[in-house]
Chains A and B, each alone.
Chain A
Amino acid sequence: MIWHIFKKDVKLLWWLAAAVATMHFAEIALLLTLPNSPGNRQLAQLMELLGLGGILAVGFLITALVHQDSIPGVRQDWLVRPVLRRDLLLAKLLFVVLLVQLPILIADFLEAALTGFPLGPSLAAAATRSVILLVLVDLSFLAFAAVTKNLLEAITGGVCIFFIIAILDVLLNSGRSRGALHPTFGTGVEWITECALLLTLAIGSSLLLKLQFFRRRTLVSRFAVGALTLLARLPL
């Protein structure tokens, strides 16, 4: 039933997925144009905007995807249908891979290839970035969307998390240099802390998805989101 659920989601969200993919391709088109227009600040700003907007758009798309069959709540029709929770989760992951991440991979590959890099390394670089984005961004958004019922809850939760992180950063960084809190910053072993963060997010998000999709423990999961946020911001 994975493919069946996936097709339903595509029917409902293809236009949003197409819009998000267009943003990525527009960003790449601008990136390729930029070297020909040095000093064009407006173009550079637009590209920055598209970069940030692209991430937010991915978050919006993934949230909308999960909310098609939202997990918290007691009114959703799918709860009373013979839908395997495993199939539902895998269908959502399939959508993320094919309609969220694949366009990014293609855009990245085109960017590298059109810039003049060989096809093999271009594809490898694009695939590596896609895997990192999948774990760091997509999986986190999936887990976060799974603990919210609708877009309003997701936006409220997102704003709360943003402020928690901002306050935490201000408190932790006050009167100290970045190096004091992040001793590996700018060193040859920084990759270790980055990998640790990646691993934390991957494991945390996966556990959250399992908890929500298979057991629907929303309250516990929401606390876990908070704990994961704090963990991800711990000084390393």
Chain B
Amino acid sequence: MIQVDNLWKKFGRHEALQGLSFTVPKGSAYALIGANGAGKTTTIKVLMNILEPTRGRATVLGVDSRKISPRELNRIGYVSENQDMPERLTVGEYLDYLRPFYLQWDLDLEKTIRRQLRLPAERRISDLSHGMRMKMALACALPFRPELLVLDEPFSGLDPLVRDEFMEELLRQAGEMTVLISSHELGEIDGVATHVAFLDEGKLLFEESMSDLTGRFREVHITMEREASAPGQVPPQWLDVKAAGNVLMFVDTRFSGDGLGERVESLVGGVRRIDAQPMPLRSIFTTLARAARDGGRS
């Protein structure tokens, strides 16, 4: 659905994207995660042909991103936290305006979405709160049943109730749609995304399916028979190694249940008990972000 090859984007001297390559499979919910300034929004703007890449190439729906035309935009829904819509039009007037541009606009679906998101048709866009604007953007992106839905930081600044409403509507309509979502609100992505790509300062640190990622990350607590201390030679797959009392803690980034006990025993000795807990995406992200900041180990 989306193929990105060695994508670079420079703004003056600043390299916002530095050779990104990743693939968004058809039917997936692909999450681009990373801290503010990591390059998520720039990537999406390049994919939508809003920005032109400095180097490299991206194809969306089989078309070079530089050549995305109304034909492709008929099949792509886009929701962004920074989307300028005509402020003086009402919600209803703007939907009326957009409808004829699309080859397949389902009016019944539009009404359903509007009702479920509780969008007041007669209210001016300028009078909508941030949350309502995001719901409005979603209501404008779904009625033509896009094959690809691109969401750029859709949860930023939304209160929990609006987030839930937004997410519920998105999941209700998702169907066979491919979804590309950029966010640092990882709690919202957890459980929705099927694939994750982690960006840091314009570089892709990794891309992986969610099941592989959550499968290989474990928060490991080792209870020792004596005072714990970090081993002299920390294995590269161990991150965030800490010792407190007789407990040694670390994040294992290449976890496999078999043989962990023996490996740990050979490294530190005197192991009484090993606990390896699965980690939520948020913890994986913060661990990786910290590791990237402290020296790039992952």
Contacts and interface: CB of A to CB of B under 8 A. Distances in A.
Interface of A: 1, 4, 8, 11-12, 68, 73-77, 79-84
A74 B74 CA distance: 19
Contacts of B140: 77
A111 to B, nearest CB: 34
**Top-6 shortest CB links A-B:** A82-B70, A80-B78, A82-B73, A75-B84, A82-B74, A77-B85
A76 to B, nearest CB: 5
Contact of A83 (B45, B84, B93, B101): B101
Given A82-B102, A83-B70, A84-B70, A8 B86 contact: yes
Contacts of A76: 84
Given A73-B84, A77-B140, A82-B70, 13 more contacts: A4-B97, A4-B100, A8-B97, A11-B93, A74-B45, A77-B84, A77-B85, A79-B49, A81-B73, A81-B101, A82-B73, A82-B74, A83-B101
B51 interface: yes
A198 B206 CA distance: 58
B50 A82 contact: no
B83 A75 contact: yes
15 contacts: A4-B101, A8-B86, A68-B86, A74-B45, A77-B84, A79-B48, A79-B50, A80-B48, A80-B50, A80-B73, A80-B78, A81-B98, A81-B101, A82-B73, A82-B101
Interface string B81-92: 011111011000
A8 B93 CA distance: 9
Given A12-B86, A68-B86, A81-B98, A74 B51 contact: yes
A185 to B, nearest CB: 45
Contacts of A4: 97, 100-101
A151 B82 CA distance: 19
Q: Considering residues B45, B86, B89, B140, which has the most beta carbons from chain A within 10 angstroms of its beta carbon?
A: B86
Contact of B50 (A1, A68, A74): A74
A80 to B, nearest CB: 4
B76 interface: yes
Contacts of B70: 81-84
A79 B51 CA distance: 11
B172 interface: no
Interface string B50-82: 110000000000000000001101101010101
Contact of A12 (B48, B73, B76, B88): B88
B62 to A, nearest CB: 17
Q: Considering residues B45, B84, B88, B102, which has the most beta carbons from chain A within 10 angstroms of its beta carbon?
A: B84
Contacts of A68: 86
A9 to B, nearest CB: 10
A233 B84 CA distance: 37
Contacts of A77: 83-86, 140
A77 B100 CA distance: 15
Contacts of A82: 70-71, 73-74, 101-102
A83 B86 CA distance: 15
A84 B84 CA distance: 18
Contacts of A83: 70, 101
Given A82-B71, A82-B73, A1 B100 contact: yes
A84 B70 CA distance: 6
B101 A1 contact: yes
A83 B72 CA distance: 11
Q: Considering residues A4, A75, A76, A83, which has the most beta carbons from chain B within 10 angstroms of its beta carbon?
A: A75
A12 B98 contact: no
A79 B71 CA distance: 13
A216 to B, nearest CB: 9
Contacts of A79: 48-50
B101 A12 contact: no
Interface in B31-50: 45, 48-50
Contacts of B88: 12
Nearest to A84: B70
Nearest to B99: A4
A198 to B, nearest CB: 34
Nearest to B101: A82
Contacts of B102: 82
Contacts of A11: 89, 93
A75 B86 contact: no
Contacts of B45: 74
Contacts of A84: 70
Nearest to B144: A82
Interface string B142-159: 000000000000000000
A1 B82 CA distance: 26
Contacts of A8: 86, 89, 97
Nearest to B81: A75
Interface in B99-126: 100-102
A80 B78 CA distance: 7
Contacts of B51: 74
